Amino acid sequence: MRHLLLIAALIYGVAHSQEPQKPKAAEQKATTEQRGTEKSPLFIKTPSPTTQAERDHEAYEKHQKPWNETALAYATIALSFITLALAIFTAFLWRSTSRLVDDAKDTSRRQLRAYLMISRAEIYIDGAPGSSKRVRISAKNFGQTPAYSVRYWLSMCSKKFPTRVFERDRLSNDVGAGVIAPGDTFATHATIPPLNNGNAIHDGTYAFYVYGVFLYKDAFGYDWVTPFRYMQIGPGWTDEKEMHICAEGNDAQ
């Protein structure tokens, strides 16, 4: 019986000695205050990647993705400059092509248009010797297409030699000559009027002048003008012969 009571006392003492001590009020309060709540946690712990794919994605987000975005921005800027340069180059190319086309058209017109120029100017006698003296002005189309709406006027006078100023005679009206085909020649005739200073022309102080203008249109509808001026001076100026071309007053457009 004594042995049973001793064993019971030992068991009771061991159990009583292993019971956890209750925390003090202050410690319990501090522990309670250090605990967070579900709505207001003290800190959030980010879970670390658990798989290789997650670790690769995290590395991409930290390192590769910013570099890719920067490279894309630089590439966009470079592409903008390249596009601008291409646009400028295209504009210059279009302008150059347009000039080439215009130059080709202009060259074609110049090669194919009519060129009406004076081929001969001469004094001749109309009829038997002693008849009136006349002037013949021949205009030839040296171009490859007809000269249309041809008209002209012609004046004659005697002036001191040399003379550079010439005015159109008020009696010289425009005369229509129609169409002059390529290679054809049109000749106009005019009688030399009586001149009071014939002796001065013979002496070389005066000169006899024939001048005027031919006007025409080419096959492309452009208007052209061919002015002319010829002269005779010195002994035998009324003889049948070709006239001298003046240094000024002649042109061929």
Topology at the third CATH level for domain 116-245:
Immunoglobulin-like (2.60.40)
| pLDDT score, position 169 | 81
Radius of gyration, alpha carbons of the chain:
58
118 vs 210: CA distance, rounded Å: 12
The pLDDT tens digits for 96-125 are 888 877 777 778 888 899 999 999 999 998
Are residues 116 and 180 in contact, defined by beta-carbon separation less than 8 angstroms? yes
Block residue for tokens 């019986």 = 1
3-state secondary structure 126-161: CCCCCCCEEEEEEEEECCCCCEEEEEEEEEEEEEEC
* Mean pLDDT, range 222-238, rounded to an integer: 93
pLDDT tens for residues 5-32? Answer: 444 444 444 444 444 444 444 444 444 4
For residues 46 and 115, which has the higher predicted lDDT (pLDDT)? 115
| Predicted confidence (pLDDT) at residue 42 exceeds the cutoff of 90 | no
Mean pLDDT of the chain: 80
Query: In this predicted structure, what is the pLDDT of residue 195?
Result: 85
* Residues 200-214: tens digit of each pLDDT: 999 999 999 999 999
User: Residue 125 carries which side chain, given as an amino acid letter?
Assistant: I
pTM of the predicted model as reported, rounded to 2 decimal places: 0.61
Give the pLDDT confidence score for residue 130 in this predicted structure. Answer: 64
Whether pLDDT at 135 is above 50: yes
DSSP assigned state of 60: I
Domain boundaries, the chain: 116-245
Q: Average pLDDT, stretch 44-73?
A: 70
Q: What is the mean pLDDT of residues 142-156?
A: 95
Instruction: Give the C-alpha separation, 253 to 251, whole Å.
Output: 6
Distances from the Cα of 178 to the Cα of 133, 134, 147, 153, 214, angstroms: 26, 23, 8, 14, 12
- Within a 10 A sphere around the Cβ of 192, how many other Cβ atoms? 16
Whether residue 216 contacts residue 163, with contact meaning beta carbons closer than 8 Å, is answered with no
Judged against a pLDDT cut of 80, whether residue 68 lies above it is answered with no
Angle CA 218–223–228, to nearest 5:
100
Question: Which tens digit of pLDDT belongs to each residue from 157-168?
Answer: 999 998 888 888
